[in-house]
Amino acid sequence: MVPQSPRQRSSQSKAGGGDAPAGGAMEWVLHFDPDTVARAIVFHMLDEGLAREVQAESVKRTVARLRRRGLCPAIRRSAWELMTNHDRLEWLLSETLTVPLMQPDGNVVAVETRDDR
């Protein structure tokens, strides 16, 4: 398993929509609050070598947007563990309607919304 730098808040809950394992067993679900999502996106952007730096102000705007909209993505731990770090980054960006935008110098990224609502 790949080490996970950003800490995820996990709780034990039944996976939704009939995805619970046979026998009524509970499955761990990872829940990402807005601050954790932002830290995870920054971690994976840097870890994947996609940027040297992520603009701090854009991260603050992203956290504020996620809080305002009440976005707290969740995923079954078993699914998360099967993902590569790149897959995790893609999932986080997709679930939060976030896109990384390269700045002119090519080493700094801003994270912005792809949602116009």
Whole-number pLDDT of residue 17: 34
Q: What is the DSSP letter of 6?
A: S
Give dist(CA 116, CA 107) in Å, integer: 26
pLDDT of 63 strictly over 90: yes
Q: What is the mean pLDDT of residues 46-74?
A: 94
Decide if 2 contacts 84 (C-beta within 8 A). Answer: yes
- pLDDT band for position 25 (cuts 50, 70, 90): low
Q: How much is the average pLDDT of 86-93? A: 96
Taking a C-beta distance cutoff of 8 angstroms, is the pair 35, 63 a contact? yes
Task: Please work out, in degrees rounded to the nearest 5, the angle formed at the alpha carbon of residue 88 by the alpha carbons of 2 and 50.
Answer: 95
Judging by DSSP bridges, how do beta strands 53-54 and 108-113 pair with one another? parallel
Q: Which residues pair with residue 56 across a beta bridge?
A: none
pLDDT at 19 over 50: no
Q: What is the token pair recorded at 2?
A: 């790949």
Mean confidence (pLDDT) of the chain: 81
pLDDT at 107: 78
Instruction: Band the pLDDT of 79: cuts 50, 70, 90.
Output: very high
What percentage of the chain carries pLDDT values higher than 70? 74
Is 0.75 surpassed by the pTM of this model?
Answer: no
